[in-house]
Amino acid sequence: MRVFVRTKTALVTGLVTITATILSAAPPSATSHAAATTPHGAAGRSGEPWLARLLAGSTSGGDAWRHLRVLDRIAAENGGVRATGTPGFEASARYAAKVLTDAGYRVHQQQVPYTDYRVDAESATVTAPAARQVRALVMRFSPVTPPGGLDAQLVVPRATTDATAGCSAADYDGLPVSGSIVLVQRGSCGYTAQQRVAAGLGARAMLIYLSTPSPNNIYRLHAFNPQAFTIPVASVTQAQAEQLAQESAQQQVRMRLDLRGHEVAGVTANLFAETRGGDDRTVMAGAHLDSVTEAPGINDNAAAAAALMATALRLAPHQDKVRHKVRFALWGAEELIDVGSNYYVSNLSPAERAKIALYLNFELIAAPNGVRFVLDGDASEQPPGTPPGPAGSQVVEKVFKDYFDRAGLPYESHDLRAVGSDHEPFVAAGIPVGGLNGGVLGVKTAAQAARFGGVAGQLYDPCYHQPCDTIGNLDRRALDENVPAIAWAVGRFALDVSDLPAAGAQE
């Protein structure tokens, strides 16, 4: 998941039967366990939602936890990451394929070509007044420094507020920007615009940081429009940036940057598991399986992937009884900007697209300081002018809200376009969407802490895109509460999509 607004063009492929070798790790049993502990809702239009109650009552956070232990171990055994193009992702996909195949699903994979940015060098050194190393992460698809790097004075822009620093050329009035390395906080205008301003004034490179309550975190940025970047860009931590800015205000600071990388092409996979039964009206539920290259990705997003695997196992004995086909999707290359889901949606024929009744997406569902965000299908709780989701998205939203109301669990509505994830290509295709997320780089308010627990003034997930996003980062209570909700929604729509637009109406 990302919080930076962006778009990405998808490519073309087809579905092929999975042939990969699968891990020997045994999945948890698909046998239903104890009676329901979740609320029994009203009947749907086509009858009693027996499958929703069964799945919500038999699918637990503990079921997901068994898969999470495996995915956490896979990350630990593969350099601490499960990113696209790494052995950690391949092992994660093999494990998920085995779990779903052994449960009796029709399991397929879709080969997905992608382009990534391989880092060759990312070093930053203060050379004066006293030498020291600074940790830096080069931006994906950034221009590169010359061989051997560049050495220049550090310049920090002036601004009336930190949120606008570097957004205007006037912020640099009187400063020796030409030939310099500029240091800025990510501003309200966006780092693409900040880079454009600095480059236009003759800066040779830019360092950028995000201001958060976790000042030692560092986040690798992404050049969503590489053609707009003309100078090398890298990120540093807030703590390092503030120290550099303070020193620069007192004396001249010089730095040497070596920021280099190159594009690489590869092929990853989307993994699909479909019920044997069900008509052509297809209910899709998905989560991305990959991590970023800097983290194990257990909250982001193994927790959601594990929740879907747990739901699929509980549904498996009943897959011949569903009215509508259920298709579980574990996406590849989401962290490269929704590459897998874009690829899938863009290659659906009009007829195939029309068969998808809705898409459910799940992200960061066990954030350690999270809030339960329900995607706001009709934008009724967003600022005026916020576009709603495709017709029918309000129905999906209501299913989740009704569930949480009956369960007595708090939630908040969330603009479905505010956080980048795999629902976006479905929105663009006019397919109804909905889902849950636990928050990303947002800071928990006092009101949210009172409603959801946790600590006000801290990030929803301090380990988002950090090495500490391990199984120890998860909130078990959030997992226990959210997994049955996911199962409820899958079961409800597997039996009844009569209140969604008719097939073909999304076009």
pLDDT of 243 reads 96
**pLDDT of 22 above 80:** no
State yes or no: pLDDT of 157 exceeds 70: yes
Write down the pLDDT at residue 163: 81
| Cβ 325 vs Cβ 284: under 8 Å | no
Does the pLDDT of residue 2 top 70, yes or no?
no
Q: Cβ distance 222 to 337 under 8 Å?
A: yes
Overall CATH class of domain 44-105+279-495: alpha beta
pLDDT mean over 48-74: 96
Residue 505 in this model has a pLDDT that exceeds 70: no
pLDDT tens-place string over residues 126-139: 999 999 999 999 99
More confident residue, 5 or 92: 92
pTM of the complete model: 0.90
d(CA 303, CA 439): 13
Residue 26, pLDDT above cutoff 50: no
Can you give the pLDDT at residue 417?
Answer: 86
Tell me the average pLDDT across 466-473.
Answer: 98
In contact, 472 and 75? CB cutoff 8 Å: no
Confidence check: pLDDT of 498 > 50: yes
Percent with pLDDT over 90 in the chain: 86
Both tokens assigned to 453: 């627990």
Q: What is the pLDDT of residue 19?
A: 31
According to the CATH classification, is domain 117-264 in 3.40.50.300? no
Q: Please spell the DSSP secondary structure of 35-96, one letter per residue.
A: PP-S-----BTTB--HHHHHHHHH--HHHHHHHHHHHHHHHHTTTT--BTTSHHHHHHHHHH
Q: Give the pLDDT score at 48.
A: 55
Give the tens place of pLDDT for each residue, 300-324: 999 999 999 999 999 999 999 999 9
Radius of gyration of the CA atoms of the chain, in A: 23
pLDDT score at 9: 30
What is the arithmetic mean of pLDDT over 403-417? 96
Query: Which residue among 90, 122, 274, 334 is the active-site one?
Result: 334
Q: Which tokens belong to 17? A: 């039967």
Tell me the pLDDT band of 440, cut-offs 50, 70 and 90: confident
Task: Report the distance separating Cα 45 and Cα 251, nearest Å.
Answer: 72
- Span 276-285, average pLDDT: 97
> How far, in Å, CA of 205 to CA of 318, rounded?
58
Tokens 């070509």 map to which residue? 113
Q: What three-state secondary structure class fits 200?
A: helix
Strand partners, 182: 155, 206
DSSP states along 86-128: SHHHHHHHHHHHHHHHHTT-EEEEEEEEEEEEEEEEEEEEEEE
Token pair belonging to 485: 């909700």
User: What is the pLDDT averaged over residues 150-178?
Assistant: 90
331, containing H or E segment: strand 324-331
**Which residues of the chain are in CATH 3.40.630.10 domains?**
44-105+279-495
Active site residue 363: no
Asked whether the predicted pLDDT for residue 456 surpasses 50, the reply is yes
